[in-house]
């Protein structure tokens, strides 16, 4: 992920397992392992729209969330992490200028994993290139 102008300060990854609980009488419900429950990636960072930009990239990420596009995620060293969709976004606009544009935007983005067989959107590549200025 390119850190200019779409800066990511922190990444946290959490995983889960899926268990089905079986009803029983008079005891703790035993569980049966159903498989990997996938990972969740939390991204957070700050943008400085007046100094270095980032507003349009944030709008593209929100468009990807609204349309439910699934996309591949790769760690900076090239290791593929799987297919994900943007589950939620949060923005905090700080130090508003006279025209209403914030000097600082703090954001959080939650990505949730989908099975590797999930098809990705054909419109996704141009959107991702726009966000992270890969080319």
Q: What confidence tens digit (pLDDT) does each residue in 24-83 have?
A: 898 899 999 998 899 999 999 998 888 888 888 888 889 999 999 998 888 878 888 999
Q: What pLDDT is attached to residue 74?
A: 85
All structural domains of the chain with their residue ranges: 10-132
Q: What is the CATH number of domain 10-132?
A: 2.40.30
Q: What pLDDT is attached to residue 79?
A: 87
Q: What confidence tens digit (pLDDT) does each residue in 82-123 have?
A: 999 999 999 998 887 788 788 888 999 999 999 887 666 666
Cα separation, 89 vs 92, whole angstroms: 10
Closest of 64, 56, 112, 60 to residue 84, by C-alpha: 112
- Helix extents (H) in the chain: 55-67, 124-132
Closest of 37, 40, 46, 44 to residue 19, by C-alpha: 37
């Amino acid at each position: 992920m390119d850190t200019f102008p779409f800066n990511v300060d922190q990444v946290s990854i959490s995983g889960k397992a899926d268990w089905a609980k079986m009803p029983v009488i008079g005891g703790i419900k035993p569980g049966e392992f159903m498989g990997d429950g996938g990972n969740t990636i939390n991204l957070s960072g700050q943008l400085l729209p007046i100094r270095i930009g980032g507003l349009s990239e944030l709008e593209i990420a929100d468009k990807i969330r609204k349309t439910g596009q699934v996309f591949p995620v790769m760690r900076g060293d090239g290791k593929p992490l799987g297919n994900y969709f943007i589950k939620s976004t949060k923005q905090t606009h700080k130090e508003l200028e006279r025209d209403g544009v914030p000097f600082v935007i703090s954001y959080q983005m939650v990505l949730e994993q989908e099975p590797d067989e999930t098809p990705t959107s054909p419109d996704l590549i141009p959107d991702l290139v726009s966000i992270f200025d890969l080319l």
